[in-house]
Structure 1
Amino acid sequence: MYSCQGLRPIPSSTDLHSRERREGREAVVQRALSSLMFGHEPKGWNFTDTPTDRGRRFLQLLDAAAFGTPHPEPARLVDEFELPGRHVDERAGSPDFAVLCSDRMLLIELKAERGSHTPGQCERYLDLARHHYSHHQIDLIYLTPTMPAKDLHALPEGSRYAHLAWPVVLPHIAAAWSRSDHPAERELTALLAEYLPALDQPRNPRMPRPTSVTATSANGTEPDPAPTPASDRAPVADRVLRVAVRVQGDRCQRGVDLPAEDLETLDAVRIQVRDLLRPGPVHEGTRITHVQPWIWRAATSTGKPLTNTGRDTGYEMRLSYYTAPFADIAERAQ
């Protein structure tokens, strides 16, 4: 799991409001809650730490609201929790939070928009968690704006599920932090007291996020040309192929800085790029036969991040040259 040297302070409400235009309302709520529970802003996806006493109190109140009796054991909290796919062609899952105990895992998935509900998402998280943590009780709390309750089509054995709306959760946030001795915690508590009820209202239009792909060679000696204006940018697939041509030619791995809101999105892009490269496409006169994507992880991979995404999150997609043709590798993986 990804950690960092030094801790970021709890962000201000002004900072979180400024992020809304770039990242959306869900990112604001997740970052506010994670910062309150950790007592500092997390850095990177799959970041783990022990919640503060107030953070643990909130988690116990939330647990009790969902399942009746909170788990008594001290726990570790993970922000943007990684649930790997069971094989290379299966997309990973990334619930917003995971609370880890020796015999239980509590997953928490947040939604700030009614329309962002994805059928089957919660079932997939429970299924992946049951696969990777077969000896744990697996529970999931689904937190959303006020909306009809979403039942699951199937619930794995040894699992529980609860759907709570933000108005139910807001008093527990106040109980945990409204009387905090830390001004930054009180500020975020006040922010959420106004922000969460507003999630029942239609959101303001978001500024579109530009689609771009930049690449850096592993030795840092061959940066890509400066990005072209948005109106002239090639599609993402074309830009990925341009990077793959360079990797095919000099056998030097490169990080690809793709816009991804979370780990799950990044892994979905990896699968899309894998499918793009699998048939050996020809680009700029070069057939790409030995290049495939993979996810670099700061916690388990060697070297340093090559992209802004890697530096910020601890994860990035890379393209590497493999001695065996990609088609042979893909066939063996099936």
Structure 2
Amino acid sequence: MSDIIAIDGLSKTYESGFTALRDVNLHIRKGEIFALLGPNGAGKTTLISIVCGIVNPGPGTVLVDGCDIRRDYRAARSRIGLVPQELSTDAFETVWATVNFSRGLFGKPADPAYVEKVLRDLSLWDKRKDKIMALSGGMKRRVMIAKALAHEPAILFLDEPTAGVDVELRRDMWNLVRGLRERGVTIILTTHYIEEAEEMADRVGVISGGEIILVEHTRTLMEKLGRKELRLQLAAPLEAIPAGLSDLNLVLEGDGHELVYGFDARHDQADVAGLLRRLGEQGIEFRDLRTRESSLEDIFVDLVHNRRTGD
């Protein structure tokens, strides 16, 4: 799969002296959904703004579908649709007019059939004659996406696309993103909703302190860094873990009523079967058990914490 965005050695220091990006290297593949995660101030917005031509780049190179953002900035920008986090559009225009105007800004000829399809895909067709000011926050968010898609971009940046929207609309947007990917559009999304990245992204990149600290397939990341946890409600409390089980990663909680067993997510359930057998050999009985697996949020928090502390 070829790269549609290639960022090499990119840094950015503002006039204030603040360094937002440090030697960033990031390649995003054509047709994938890529999630960029990072805490506030990590450099996500600066990175996106440079690629989209909003912020001047520092040292380094950025290619968008083969176009250098410095030498071929018009061609590069024409390949990108951007949905910013903040809602900003002409409140007194109709939905139809604002989406058509966005298409014209990129020199695209009028294509009512295409605009109609975009509006229908976003459940905006019935609102096409409404003024933006009359729409709900969720509908305004859909209009921002329609504007970004109006000129048929190959790449779509979604900066916190579901911030402030309800669960139903969030699911609708997830389905829309998957549909765009099926049509060959590359999606780059930033989000604070970690479950979005876990649900949708093919790969995840983590940025912290202006540096890319990890890029990995979502599934591989979960397998590499995920942890599983088995919690057993004991039939009778224990004062301490028996010496015969000291080699296992066991912790007593709940005043000795709960035994917690942590193990690597890459291991299979034979570990659990072995644990239960050994508990029986020690005469330990349990009333109930439940399991929990690390979420992408757990992994993300650990990565950023370890980066900050140097662990």
- TM above 0.5, yes or no, is no
Q: Which has the higher strand share?
A: 2
Q: TM-score range by the shorter chain?
A: under 0.3
Of structures 1 and 2, the one with the larger relative CO (CA 8 A, separation 6+) is 2
Q: TM-score, normalized by length of structure 2? A: 0.24
Which structure: larger Rg? 2
